Amino acid sequence: MKPKTGIGAHVSTRGGFLQAAKRAYEMGATAFQYFPKNPRSLNLKRLDLKDAALCREWCEEQGLASIAHSPYPTNPALGMTRGEAGFHAIVSSIRNDLEISDACGSVGTVVHFGHVQTKDPLEGYHNLIQCLDTALEGWQGESKILLENQAGDHGPMGTTMEEMIQIRKLSRYPEHIAFCFDTCHAFASGMWTTGDEAALLDKGRKLGYWNVLAAVHFNDSKYASGLNKDRHARIGQGYIGYESMQRLLQSPEIQQAVVVLETETGEDGTYREDIQLMRSWL
């Protein structure tokens, strides 16, 4: 049984998925995030069922929760703008990520909302829904697509809770879609500013956003709120600051999710120090 609040960080899968889990466990984590395949390519990965099963079993025994993160080129809002082959490459990659994360026993696979340059502002949303629906068609696994909010560095798309909720609502398979909330992205997009945690949490409650939250990228920000700069900082070492990060982590809405760091490591090359700090807040 996994603990109430899984806290950890993104770890390398060098040596396999089981090794990734052990790498997280050794630094005191109760959760971790990993890339299911090469993070810089949409090329599909052949699933090593034995390694995935060992990872799943070991995590269940040790009480570790996990989430996968789709490769950087994954942009579901592109649709057919780069041709039919480009669309199907993204769809197939997302499905591949789901199959791997499901075999590893992960909660889901994080997928960025995506962006596209188009004269019609609704085209990107239509593309996103079509991509998610196609990837999820016939999906029977437990692992979900975890739709992540964006910083606004590529435009305003995907920067609000309302968009997340609406996309899930319009999908044919909402039961297979949950949310990943990135604190730095939300801060960068101007969704909230330091000291406004109560208002942010209350808005999410009213919209029903937190009801579907499954994962949190717990990152401070190297830039001030509203500048649309996606630059993560270690917790308490950025513009969000210790107190605001602490208030967020202590909220029941955040604690229900898998919480992982995507920041620089400590002096020992691990996230042990920051994980211990987060644990002390609980």
- CA distances in angstroms from 62 to 49, 51, 241, listed in the order given: 20, 16, 32
In a domain, 88, yes or no: yes
CATH number (domain holding residue 203): 3.20.20.150
**pLDDT digits over 196-246, tens only?**
999 999 999 999 999 999 999 999 999 999 999 999 999 999 999 999 999
| SS3 label, residue 186 | helix
Nearest alpha-carbon partner for 28 in 280, 275, 226, 282: 275
DSSP structure string for 115-146: ----SSTTHHHHHHHHHHHHHHTT---S-EEE
Overall pTM surpassing 0.85 (yes/no)? yes
Q: Is residue 261 part of a domain?
A: yes
Number of domains in the chain: 1
In a domain, 275, yes or no: yes
Residue 51 in domain: yes
Whether residue 1 is contained in a domain is answered as no
What span, in angstroms and rounded, lies between the C-alpha atoms of 87 and 83?
A: 7
Give the three-state DSSP class for 64: coil
The reply to whether 166 falls in a domain is yes
Tokens 């987060």 map to which residue? Answer: 278
| Distance, first Cα to last Cα, the chain | 19
R_g of the chain, CA atoms, integer Å: 18
What is the domain extent for residue 212? Answer: 6-281
Is 229 part of a structural domain of the chain?
Answer: yes
Identify the pLDDT of residue 1.
Answer: 34
Share of the chain above pLDDT 70, in %: 99
8 Å CB contact between 150 and 158: yes
Q: What is the pLDDT of residues 8-64, one digit of tens each?
A: 999 999 999 999 999 999 999 999 999 999 999 999 999 999 999 999 999 999 999
User: What is the β-pairing status of strands 6-10 and 258-261?
Assistant: parallel
Whether 234 is covered by a domain: the verdict is yes
